[in-house]
Amino acid sequence: MRHRKAFRKLGRSSSHRKAMLRTMVTQLIEHERIRTTYQKAKEVSRMADKMIKYAKKGELHDRRQALKYVRDNMMVRKLFTVLGDRYKDREGGYTRVLRIGTRYGDAADMAYLEFVDRQGELRQQKDEKKDIRWTAADFVQDQMMKEEGTPPKE
């Protein structure tokens, strides 16, 4: 059972893991899409979502918390100006992990990690769905129109 295991160790020491995740979050903020293994992408996604939450609040303490984690001052500036404004109305789910197959050599599951609602994203937003459910009143009205000879509504 996997009780009380809060995160993935990724086969690294704690200092190596922290340094790797910090670098990957910084690169994600810079490029807005990175290619990595699936397990790393899921861990980086957690930390990137935390950084976006700091950016949405936008206070001095939140900026200092982000500066502790993100490696580049310019990326913190981008985080608080561009990304914080982009996701101000969104309640979560700022990143998307898309599987892209396996890596040649060791067959590791690879994935793209990207921010949602950005220019040039891999997966486009769906159009609003038409409500195709019919109520009983719609069914009765359709039957009456068929009897009268008028075309049914669509």
Q: Which pLDDT band, with edges at 50, 70 and 90, does 148 fall under? A: confident
**Residue 111 in domain:** yes
**Rounded Cα gap, residues 49 and 92, in angstroms:** 8
**Residue 141 in domain:** no
Position 25 pLDDT exceeds 90: yes
Q: Which pLDDT band, with edges at 50, 70 and 90, does 147 fall under? A: confident
Position 60 pLDDT exceeds 70: yes
**Residue 110 in domain:** yes
Q: CATH no. for residue 40?
A: 3.90.1030.10
Position 47 pLDDT exceeds 60: yes
Tell me which residue range forms the domain holding 52. 14-119
DSSP 85: H
**Residue 154 in domain:** no
**Residue 57 in domain:** yes
Domain count, the chain: 1
**Residue 127 in domain:** no
* pLDDT tens-digit map of 95-105: 999 999 999 99
**Residue 137 in domain:** no
